[in-house]
Amino acid sequence: MRWLPWLSLAAFSSLWLAHWPIFPLVLDPYYHLLIARQVAEAGGPIVYEWWQYAPIGRFHLYPPFLHLLLAGFLKLGIPAITTIRIASVVLLPALLLSLWLVMRRLLGPSIALASLWVGMVPFSFHLHSVITMAATLSLIEWLWLMDALEHGRILAAGLLLALLCYTHLGLPWIVLVTIGICGCLRPDCWKRWLRASWGLLLVVPWWWHLWSHRMSLVPFPRDENRMVELMPLVYLAAAVGVWRCWVGKGAFRWLPACWLGFSLLAFEYRYRWLSGEGLFAVILLAGVGVDWLAGCLAACGQRLRIAPSQRSGRDDRLTSRETGNGGQNSGKQLLWAGAIVGLLLCSGTLAFEEDHLRWRWPDSGLAHLAGIRGVQEKDLDQGLYTPVMERLIRVVSEQTQPLEILWSNAPYVLGLIAAVVGRPMSSAMLNEVRPERAFDSVAAAHWIVWFKFDQPPELSLLKQIQRYPLRRVYEEDLAIVFRQESPIQPAHPPQAILPVGMAFGILGVVLGLVVWDLRMGAPQRYTQGASMTDISLCRKNVGYEGIP
């Protein structure tokens, strides 16, 4: 049993690594990489973005932790595209590893393994995890925060709570709601958990920055909500897990509380609730459900093999020789858990796309990663760093100077080019943050990269050429590159508010203290509820009280 989680994780990671050539996926990684380039150029974290909406810029309102990590790779001389590919390859396996380690500490190895296996099933969750990198990093921090709170490690809990706020804008509030819900279910833990709130004091400077520039945030329609995917069998297993967690009490209560906390996403982020971050809580619950079902099936199988004559006149009690030892029972439960997860892997997905309902089968992570015939490629399972894009990037790199500004009719595609080459852009990704003041973004650009996509009439190439003095420099099937002849102000170099060495020093101290405190609080035994999936209790729950 000990080697099985590592073998499972290694096999999944190998299949995931095989996706290396198509990383980074669309679209968010391009934004994170461009911010990381600015952090590396500035020599430390930034609070003002000069390389989007250049030369005007805008306030930087995205938390710095992920960008600091990416900038560290860049400062080591690792190429930009390799840096973002490393992050794409590492983050999802790191999340699954943390899931297994934390669930093992909280609920025992059996549930931990079942949760790990269920986490390898939904491919939509895998894609979303590698696209929304900061959210994935936040989920890793949330798992360890849950562990720290459960075992009373106040130092680690406070630091992880602060680190979570410096990683993502929205998930910290979901986590706080989850802690509150779990506290209502377990009133005896309130005082202990409240002490961990000291970590929020470390976030006051960042929150003050966000509050001071809150007017820069603007509402933005969520097109992703038109694409939702559900794996019915995973949700069915999660429904069983909800019941088992309610009966189990103790640390089990974290999982339904987590699902209720993530339900806040349902109001504005339906896709993320059902197919993204919110699916993570469903995976945890489904792991509990799968483990309990496997225990019940193993108990039933054991019962059916025992003839009534073997039990007559013995007060319905069996010797250990007749029932088998605990290792055998554990092995049978493990086989049943594998069979149930295999059924999940063979299940299909209900996809809601553009108001149409479609059934996709097969559609599990294994089916996609192993390249099983008949699998339908997902819209998000694609990258833009193709040989054609490489040629265009090489042209832009050779023709432009470091602080010359780019503009494009496809901002996110341009974002990939700008991030790899290290150039500012007068258009922008992450449109929720507006520029400091209105300006003509096309007139502010030295270079125009016009992609030959279908465009509405108001963005036609002819109108752009007529309005601005553009000279065609390069053209191919993908795009046309223009040079603007009028004199243009160059972009402002990025500016750091903290030296990068000091930033990494603080980060190293924080992570070191977290690891130290968690190791000091390593549980000697699993917390209450871990034995609820023991085969003997499963037998009792299915009505076989006479079997020990």
Encode pLDDT of 11-25 as tens digits: 999 999 999 999 999
State the CB neighbour count (10 A cutoff) for residue 134.
Answer: 21
User: Helix 254-262 and helix 277-304: axis angle, to 10°?
Assistant: 140
Structure-model confidence comparison of residues 151 and 370, the more confident one: 151
Buried/exposed 420-448: b ≥16 CB within 10 Å, e otherwise: bbbbbbbbbbbeebebeeeeebbebbbbb
Query: Percent of the chain having pLDDT more than 90?
Result: 62
- Full-model pTM: 0.90
d(CA 28, CA 280): 19
Residue type, 293: L
Q: What is the pLDDT of residues 503-544, one digit of tens each?
A: 999 999 999 999 999 988 766 554 444 433 443 444 343 333
Q: Are 422 and 37 in contact (CB under 8 A)?
A: yes
Beta strands in 417-469 (DSSP E): 447-451
| Start-end of H helices in 18-122 | 28-42, 65-75, 80-107, 109-119
Token code pair at residue 485: 């002849």
How many other C-beta atoms can be found within 10 angstroms of the C-beta atom of residue 312? Answer: 9
CB-CB contact of 7 with 363 (8 Å): no
E-only strand ranges, 91-184: none
pLDDT computed for residue 376 by the predictor: 73
Q: What integer pLDDT is reported at residue 381 of this predicted model? A: 74
Terminal C-alpha separation, the chain:
23
Say whether pLDDT at 329 is over 60: no
The Cα–Cα gap between 197 and 192 comes to 10
